[in-house]
């Protein structure tokens, strides 16, 4: 006899490629990855927890389609995805090896992976000395537009936000001159890291200060 616990938890997502590699992807994959980055700013720096249903409501795309697209990207090793909707399982009687080795074994294995993932996330939080502690906590629960608190032990050492220096105004000046893609902005602002530029672009998109003309080109809103 097997007992199922259908309580759902948040899924996890971790980007396995750098922002510089986005231009190497197909248009379809590049556009979807950029969509994820716009909705989950912390994705470029660490693993995030999220709800497929919440994302579905935000971008007006069916939840099933979102999961399928994410799984396709995972197959291409662009990101790591763990579905939080998988039910937990408990054996109420002595388990039948012939049964669990088939239908239920993969589910049981996934549960163990989830437990290991949670332990690794807790270990990362304790040992991390790069990212704001409050930012990590809020990102874990799917919060957007999160900036460093400036008060935790990490912030006291770094005195700088996780997103790096705020160069939003300089990016806006470039886009006021003409619509540009990330590469063109990077050339104009070549004294900044491309990842820093991309993070600030995502923030400006969330703030409604810039918009996308197509899947690559940005302009002022």
By DSSP bridging, strand 11-15 and strand 79-82 are antiparallel
The pLDDT score that the predictor gives to residue 1 is 42
List the domain boundaries for the chain: 1-127, 163-221
How large is the average pLDDT for residues 97-124? 71
How large is the average pLDDT for residues 193-211? 86
Domain 163-221 indexed as CATH 2.40.10.10: no
**Of residues 220 and 155, more confidently modeled:** 220
Within 13 Å and on the Cβ side, how many CA atoms surround 114?
20
The pLDDT score that the predictor gives to residue 81 is 92
State the first-to-last Cα distance of the chain, in angstroms, to the nearest integer: 58
- Label residue 157 by pLDDT band (50, 70, 90): low
The pLDDT score that the predictor gives to residue 180 is 92
What's the CA angle centered on 58, arms 86 and 13, to 5 degrees? Answer: 40
**Of residues 127 and 181, more confidently modeled:** 181
The β-bridge partners of 4 are: 89
Contact present, 16 and 53 (Cβ < 8 Å): no
- Label residue 3 by pLDDT band (50, 70, 90): very low
Q: Residue 53 corresponds to which tokens in the numbers above?
A: 């249903």
**CA distance readout (Å), 123 to 110, 117, 182:** 20, 10, 34
- Label residue 134 by pLDDT band (50, 70, 90): confident
The pLDDT score that the predictor gives to residue 8 is 62
Least confident of 34-38, 79-83, 136-140: 136-140
Contact present, 125 and 136 (Cβ < 8 Å): yes
Within 13 Å and on the Cβ side, how many CA atoms surround 135?
27
The pLDDT score that the predictor gives to residue 23 is 84
Angular region, 77: left φ>0, alpha ψ -120 to 50, beta rest = left
pTM of the model as a whole: 0.40
* pLDDT exceeds 50 at position 162: no
Least confident of 4-18, 84-98, 140-154: 84-98
How large is the average pLDDT for residues 26-35? 91
């Amino acid at each position: 006899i097997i007992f199922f616990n259908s309580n759902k938890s948040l899924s996890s997502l971790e980007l396995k490629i750098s922002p510089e590699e986005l231009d190497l992807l197909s248009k379809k994959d590049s556009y979807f990855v950029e969509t994820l980055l716009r909705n989950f700013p912390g994705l470029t720096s660490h693993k995030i927890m999220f709800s497929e249903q919440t994302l579905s409501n935000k971008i007006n795309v069916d939840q099933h389609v979102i999961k399928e697209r994410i799984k396709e990207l995972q197959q291409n090793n662009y990101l790591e995805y763990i579905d939080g909707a998988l039910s937990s399982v408990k054996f109420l009687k002595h388990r039948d090896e012939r049964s669990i080795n088939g239908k239920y074994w993969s589910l049981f294995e996934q549960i163990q992976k989830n437990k290991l993932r949670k332990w690794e996330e807790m270990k990362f939080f304790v040992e991390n000395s790069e990212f704001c502690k409050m930012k990590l906590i809020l990102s874990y629960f799917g919060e957007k537009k999160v900036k460093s608190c400036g008060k935790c032990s990490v912030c006291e050492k770094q005195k700088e936000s996780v997103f790096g220096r705020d160069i939003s105004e300089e990016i806006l000046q470039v886009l006021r001159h003409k619509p540009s893609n990330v590469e063109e902005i990077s050339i104009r602002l070549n004294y900044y890291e491309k990842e820093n530029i991309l993070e600030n672009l995502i923030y400006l998109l969330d703030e409604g200060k810039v918009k996308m003309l197509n899947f690559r080109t940005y302009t002022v809103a």
